[in-house]
Structure 1
Amino acid sequence: MMLLVSHAFFFGSDAMTNDERVGMVHSPIKRNAIWNLYQSVLMHKSFAQEFDRCAQTLQNYKEPVLCKEQAADFVLIIGESFNRHMSNLYDGAYDTNPRLRQRLAGGRLFVFRDVIASDNGTTQNFKQFLSTASVGETRQWCDAPLFPLVLRRCGYNVVFLSNQFAGAEMDKRFNASMGFFNDPRIASLLFDYRGTRTFAYDEQLVTYYEQQRKTLEQPKRNFVIFHLYGQHQRASERFPEGDTYFKSGDIRSTLNLSEAERQSVADYLNATRYNDLVVDHIIRLFEKRNAIVLYFADHGEEVYNYRHQLGRTDLATDVPRAKREQLDVPFLIYLTPSYAAVHSDMVARLRAAEGRPFMTDDLPHVIFDILGVRSREFVAAKSLINAQYQAPRKRLLQIKKWYE
């Protein structure tokens, strides 16, 4: 009884505030079964309230939207758990991206060198980079239009396929992972088509799209979103056995890694190399069309990079170095030959922007900029590729801490 009374006295009705309180050094109450149950109830209620607000925001969005781009397709590939420091497109020491490096040499793949996620969780990032609101604004993600609705409003056919959240998993309306996609008031406004099944490996998802594309696409102006399983734990399950390239004996580390730890690194590298194959496959599907392909990862992952840590941690309490491994993500834009041929200005803009600091919460503004979307929701100063871009001196994360 005393335990229940102490919980009732110490904790309030806001799950996030409670989480902060229980993490305090001198908190009289730590995580336990009662706390977990109470927090679950509060989070369920919080999600439901967010979904209601998001649905209301979308339904109230009546702005007439214009779009300068009248022909090109746009392909958005969302990777998973990709620490860019494990890629040799960046500073990685292993040959993880042979196909994309070959495209880089061709001059139409642009690699942005200082892009971070705003959080290290998939759901939190999806909410934020779909929303036209930015971290730190007075508006929360659910109080601003989500960018797929804006694109549909200006005539784009929006297709969404996820290899993580579809089918039976998505039937759980308030699932903490992507639950807002399940609310029919939301999904019906965001997508012309949303996938209903997942596959063992990402390339199977791409093949499925390839087989179905005639029924999914319109002749032009398609906005296709692929959400991959990428390098998500367990990495050993993210690539077919036949695509094994790295072995535990290939792993070089200054840490005294065990055989199992070396194998975990090798699995992650194999998943990264397989991801290279998948992304290249998607590019090939659109190679002969007038199209832009943008790839980035929702967040990073620690893979024994500088300490004995695999996976993600609570960045609010972890050491600063953890942000680098868990938030530094790849961000790539590829232009097909036909698109680049008639958009020389875009080639120059992308090349000028490759070194600018950016956070993926402002992704919609980059997309709007590329497609020439004319909307009150577009802010040129938030678009990485715009001459008016205001590069942040410091980047505020969703955990209310600075990245820098």
Structure 2
Amino acid sequence: MRNRLRWLDIITAPIARNPEFLVFMFALGITAALLSVDYAHKAKPYEYAWEELFFCLYAVCAVLAVLPRRLRAVARGLVYAVAYPVTIVDMYCFVKFDATLNPSILMLVNETDPREAGEFFSAYLSPDVLMTNVGWVLLIPILHILWSIHRKLRKPSRLIGLERKAADGIKRVRPLWNVLVAVCVLVSGIHCFPNLRNLQSLMSQKTVGGIEHRLTEKDCGKQYLPLYRFAFSAYANYLASKQIDIIKDVAKTVTVDSCDYTSPNIVLIIGEAYCKRHSGLYGYHLPTTPRQVAMAKRGELVAYSDVVTPWNLTSYVFKHIMSTYTVGDKGEWCDYPLFGEVFRKAGYHVTFLTNEFLPKAKQAVYDFSGGFFLNDPEMSAAQFDARNDRVHIFDEGLLDDYKAVQERRAHDGDTLQKGNLTIFHLIGQHQNYRVRCPKSKKHFTLEDYSDREDLRPKWKKNVRDYDNATLYNDSIVREIVRLFENTNSVVIYMPDHGEEVHSRELPHFSGRMHSTTITERLAREEFEIPFWIWASKSYRKSHPELWKAIRASADRPYMTDALPHLLMYLAGIKCKYYRDDLNLLSPEYNASRPRILKHQTDYDVIMKRKQHPQPGDNPSIRQ
């Protein structure tokens, strides 16, 4: 029987030839997997971390086992040279920045010069780091070094005798050992195969957007190891760099025929995660937008009734609204000029103030995907004359940023441009609604939702927090408008996408579903958005025909991927990128253009509409 099982020696050979490698790499991997979990927020380690790590290391050992001894030693050394530093850096980022390795951190590293790197190390590296989880990770390579030194030293005869006895013992149980290893490899392989397959799918995406979309799916793969996160981050940056190269080439070819500076001041406010049905401007039963309603009653604001966004992901939306590409055009968004480049070529001063898309360590892939083409130094300079350099807990911080930009321009004498385009990108009602409104400005209480008997207490709190965030957002957009009241200005407000906030349909849900199939409910909650245009008194007086066109277009069906064409028209920019049929205010506007959501579903078909809004869709206020 024992001889029959000798063929199983081939299964244990990878371990027998690389025991030190297997032990220390397993210790390193499992330590990192357990210590880089955010237990404070009830996160849990990956369920099959032990099995998958063993299976993957066994596979690596199998490859090493077939190499010649010297080459095997070199290969193991290369793995150590990568695994130890990457794991230490990953744990350090988790301890210091509350974020493991991600694409944004690698992007920041790539953009850091030697001086900045020196300042970073002097500011963040200190002996107290050794007393954190970083110390536990550092302990493993230290023990590995000590073990290697011990092996090279002459061993006492007593230890040699013990090793021989251990070897004899292993020989006696070799058949059992072989079977045990075979079973462990088989079982661990079965358990970890789905995750490895999902990771392979994630890493085979062709664009950053593809990666992001894959991450919205439940089976996107668990990146529980620092090496996984490092490889993923490097790949995401590689894909981003490919699109950046295309955008840079396109930017060099941007031309403008002429510009009339029709609107001296154009302001674009981009909100975040705005559920249209929670806007008082659109008939919500609670006063979440009293200031917008007041502006509409005064005849300053026109609310549009039938506007959708092409995507329910911020990064996808930004790529579509910042590029002159529209859904259905040939190629991709990066093959077309960005409207910021066009405006700067036309002579407009472009200011971009964002409370989300600044490069930072603790940044989700979604923010990286949406911001990489805005934060690349060369592309940022091509699109914007002025930017803010920090994000804020609340959106009111952007008001101070705008004032700082204006003061800086006045100090530098940079106020001679005939036109100004100012873009405010708010954090708005982004996920975790509770923290999107200062405590002092929270107005709604649970008593306001006594009629929602269908909601559990936790869900009622979600709705309350969302409505308070919406009310706070109303105050912010009003303050932005106030900045331009005494100027010749037009302001456009639109959020990136909608949001599901415990509608009365079952099952109850808060956030975004990211379903592969776009249903009527998903289209209504996550793709329909509020959209309005405000104009100052002097603007309405000096542009009566434009204001008339704005009011007349309030019920036209519209998708925000065509936004650059509206902006170019308001500016009076004449160039080959502008299309009259995509301009919402033009008599030639194509109101029957298919509004394709996520490049797959016709919104008007799924909502059983043709070219006209249905009764009940109009805003409660219309001037």
Q: Say yes or no: does 1:48 pair with 2:230.
A: no
Q: Say yes or no: does 1:326 pair with 2:526.
A: yes
**Residue-by-residue CA offset, 1:146-174 (whole Å, 9 max, x unaligned):** 00111111110000010112264599999
Counterpart residue identity of residue 319, structure 2: K
Contact kept, 8 Å, 1:362 with 1:383, in 2: the verdict is yes
Return the offset for 1:352: 0.9
Distance 1:92 1:221, change over 3 A: same
What residue is the counterpart of 1:79 in the other structure? 271
Q: Say yes or no: does 1:145 pair with 2:337.
A: yes
- Could you say what secondary structure the match of 1:161 adopts? strand
**Residue-by-residue CA offset, 1:65-106 (whole Å, 9 max, x unaligned):** 311225611111110111111101113221011111111011
Q: Which structure 2 residues correspond to residues 1-400 of structure 1 after superposition, within 5 A?
A: 3=193, 7=197, 13-15=204-206, 31-33=220-222, 43-61=236-254, 63-69=255-261, 72-166=264-358, 168=360, 175-216=368-409, 218-219=415-416, 220-251=418-449, 256-305=454-503, 306-307=505-506, 308-317=508-517, 319-392=519-592, 394-400=594-600
Contact kept, 8 Å, 1:14 with 1:42, in 2: the verdict is no
What residue is the counterpart of 2:616 in the other structure? none
Name the CA distance, whole Å, in 1 between partners of 2:212 and 2:286. 39
Name the CA distance, whole Å, in 2 between partners of 1:381 and 1:398. 21
Contact kept, 8 Å, 2:212 with 2:369, in 1: the verdict is no
Name the CA distance, whole Å, in 2 between partners of 1:210 and 1:236. 28
Name the CA distance, whole Å, in 2 between partners of 1:379 and 1:373. 11
When structure 1 is superposed on structure 2, of 243-252 and 378-387 the one drifting more is 243-252
Name the CA distance, whole Å, in 2 between partners of 1:20 and 1:281. 35
Distance 1:47 1:403, change over 3 A: farther
When structure 1 is superposed on structure 2, of 313-322 and 87-96 the one drifting more is 313-322
Counterpart residue identity of residue 335, structure 1: A
Distance 1:195 1:34, change over 3 A: closer
Name the CA distance, whole Å, in 2 between partners of 1:236 and 1:58. 40
Return the offset for 1:208: 3.1
TM-score (normalised: structure 1): 0.89
Contact kept, 8 Å, 2:256 with 2:573, in 1: the verdict is no
Counterpart residue identity of residue 245, structure 1: H
**Residue-by-residue CA offset, 1:303-342 (whole Å, 9 max, x unaligned):** 1013411101214235331121111111111110111101
- Could you say what secondary structure the match of 2:324 adopts? coil
Return the offset for 1:255: 6.0
Counterpart residue identity of residue 218, structure 1: T
- Could you say what secondary structure the match of 2:303 adopts? strand
**Residue-by-residue CA offset, 1:98-138 (whole Å, 9 max, x unaligned):** 11111101112111111111111111110110100101211
Contact kept, 8 Å, 2:304 with 2:531, in 1: the verdict is yes
Return the offset for 1:234: 0.9
Q: Say yes or no: does 1:402 pair with 2:602.
A: yes
Return the offset for 1:258: 1.2
Name the CA distance, whole Å, in 1 between partners of 2:204 and 2:278. 41
Distance 1:119 1:393, change over 3 A: same
Contact kept, 8 Å, 1:65 with 1:150, in 2: the verdict is no
Counterpart residue identity of residue 395, structure 1: R
Name the CA distance, whole Å, in 1 between partners of 2:544 and 2:393. 40
**Residue-by-residue CA offset, 1:366-394 (whole Å, 9 max, x unaligned):** 11111211011110100111110001353
Name the CA distance, whole Å, in 2 between partners of 1:111 and 1:91. 12
Contact kept, 8 Å, 1:15 with 1:39, in 2: the verdict is no
Distance 1:177 1:347, change over 3 A: closer
Name the CA distance, whole Å, in 2 between partners of 1:270 and 1:261. 14
Distance 1:23 1:265, change over 3 A: closer
Contact kept, 8 Å, 2:290 with 2:474, in 1: the verdict is yes
Name the CA distance, whole Å, in 1 between partners of 2:598 and 2:323. 14
Name the CA distance, whole Å, in 2 between partners of 1:252 and 1:56. 57
Distance 1:369 1:177, change over 3 A: closer
- Could you say what secondary structure the match of 1:202 adopts? coil
Q: Give the structure with the larger helix fraction.
A: 2
Contact kept, 8 Å, 1:172 with 1:179, in 2: the verdict is no
- Could you say what secondary structure the match of 2:280 adopts? coil
Name the CA distance, whole Å, in 1 between partners of 2:214 and 2:517. 13
Name the CA distance, whole Å, in 2 between partners of 1:60 and 1:239. 43
Name the CA distance, whole Å, in 2 between partners of 1:134 and 1:22. 24
Name the CA distance, whole Å, in 1 between partners of 2:263 and 2:213. 49
- Could you say what secondary structure the match of 1:206 adopts? helix
Counterpart residue identity of residue 73, structure 1: N
- Could you say what secondary structure the match of 1:176 adopts? helix
TM-score (normalised: structure 2): 0.59
Distance 1:169 1:383, change over 3 A: farther
When structure 1 is superposed on structure 2, of 377-386 and 394-403 the one drifting more is 394-403
Return the offset for 1:226: 0.6
Contact kept, 8 Å, 2:353 with 2:401, in 1: the verdict is no
Return the offset for 1:346: 0.8
Distance 1:139 1:249, change over 3 A: same
Return the offset for 1:176: 2.6
